[in-house]
Amino acid sequence: MFYSFTYFTRPIADQSSCDSLPTPEFPKLYNKSSPITMASLLDQLRGLSTVDCDTLDAHVARIYGPFADCTSNQAIVLAEITKVDTDGKLIYQSLIDEVIPIAHWMSGNQTDATVEELAAELLAVGLALRFAPHLNGFIHIQTNPKWCYSTEKTVKNAERIMAHVKHLSPNFDTSRVCIKIPATWEGLQACRLLENRHSIATLATMVFSMEQVALAVDAGCRYVAPYVNELRVHLDATYTDANKDRAALFCGAAQRYCDEVASSTAATEAAHGSLNLQTQTHVMAASLTSVEEVMRLAGAVKHITVSPPLLTELEATPAAGWPGAGTVGAAAAITGPNGDALRLKELIGDQSQWRLAFTRAEAGESERKLGQAVGIFCDMQEQIERLVRKWDLMGKKAVSG
């Protein structure tokens, strides 16, 4: 089955090369250097939350950047590597030709991943590195979702991704790489190991419940990424997530929880003379489908990752006179997560109780949505691997004449 994330595949501009991409000229609604400017919703959003980019298309960064972070996943990678130019040729052919031989070479030195899996990882890293000059924060690369129920395989996958970065760009600062990991019990234990033993930054993704948030914070994740909409909305244009308003409020409650834990931790550390300024977990709201959803989260969470179509709409909409002005920041939590902190603290140290609580969260909806997201990303992963096999075979035939 082929899935298409509409907001990933909508073209921003004609693209003719992945290695030397010209900066296209796009009409602006206002001139930022002019003494008279009209602030857009994107300007307003940037004044309230950190804006990250949910794409690997470097053209987007040239138009709307720079950004703090760049987020990606198997769907984004698949959409990007299959883009073609006006002649029908793959835009990223040179990257494909570069990484497949590397994957073969690496396959001969290890048994943990297939050639196709290695190539899929290398493609994600290669695309992210091309985007990195437009960022002042992290590039986020998601682990293979097929391993999200294995702590050991997820850790190895993360370490391998870091090695890919050094192989493709030896001088790149790997402290700017953040590994996105599905927020299963096993995935969050992998985050704990990567953060605490390997000093590798992690983001807990596919988050739908406070149980996941609490465990991610305890594991030391740099970010948690709650989905405002379940993943299905990006695949089925007729489907609407009826719970998205509640999910937006959940994002605000998650940020409040992270802030309260950070405040408590900082007070304890200060009392013992060991203050660590990097202990806080930030919320990065994800899976947004409208400008209204984005602006409800403005200021309610520290980070928001925004897709290209929404960036376009935010930039094109003047903040002054916007009809939804009264809802800006409406998702901010006034109180903590339902006085739940003690229960959550007890859960994070007991795997069986945590699993049971997660299964029951939101009457089973949180677990269902996580399973749905994992399944979709596994399908995307397999599509990338099939393409790698196809391109590899085509390359061998071309060499043999």
- pLDDT on residue 8: 38
Both tokens assigned to 13: 């501009």
Q: Cα 133 to the chain's mean position, in Å?
A: 18
Place of tokens 């009264």: 326
Cβ contact 311:42 at 8 Å: yes
Span 97-114, average pLDDT: 95
- pLDDT on residue 342: 85
- pLDDT on residue 110: 87
> For residue 372, is pLDDT > 90?
yes
How far is Cα 129 from Cα 145, in angstroms, rounded to an integer? 21
- pLDDT on residue 275: 46
How far is Cα 389 from Cα 395, in angstroms, rounded to an integer? 10
How far is Cα 302 from Cα 51, in angstroms, rounded to an integer? 9
**DSSP code at position 393:** H
- pLDDT on residue 220: 97
Q: Is 310 exposed, middle or buried (0-12, 13-18, 19+ CB in 10 A)?
A: buried
- pLDDT on residue 18: 39
How far is Cα 47 from Cα 338, in angstroms, rounded to an integer? 29
How far is Cα 139 from Cα 164, in angstroms, rounded to an integer? 13
For every residue of 337-358, DSSP letters joined together read STT-HHHHHHHTT-HHHHHHHH
Which parts of 272-364 fold into alpha helices (H)? 291-297, 308-316, 341-347, 351-360
- Which residue type occupies 348? I
Residue 77 CB contacts under 8 Å (≥ 6 apart), including other chains: 56, 120, 123, 124, 127, 380, 384
Helix or strand or coil: residue 33?
Answer: coil
Instruction: Give backbone dihedrals phi and psi of 48, rounded to 5 degrees, phi first.
Output: -115, -35
Q: Given the DSSP bridges, would you call strands 282-285 and 201-207 parallel, antiparallel or unpaired?
A: unpaired
**DSSP code at position 88:** S
- pLDDT on residue 127: 98
- pLDDT on residue 35: 43
> For residue 51, is pLDDT > 70?
yes
- pLDDT on residue 9: 35
The pTM assigned to this predicted structure is 0.88
Reported as a single tens digit per residue, the pLDDT across 228-256 is 999 999 999 999 999 999 999 999 999 99
Question: Residue 53 belongs to what H/E stretch?
Answer: strand 50-53
Place of tokens 């994107």: 42
> For residue 202, is pLDDT > 90?
yes
Question: Residue 161 belongs to what H/E stretch?
Answer: helix 151-168
How far is Cα 350 from Cα 112, in angstroms, rounded to an integer? 30
The CA dihedral of 349, 352, 357, 358, to the nearest 10 degrees, is 90
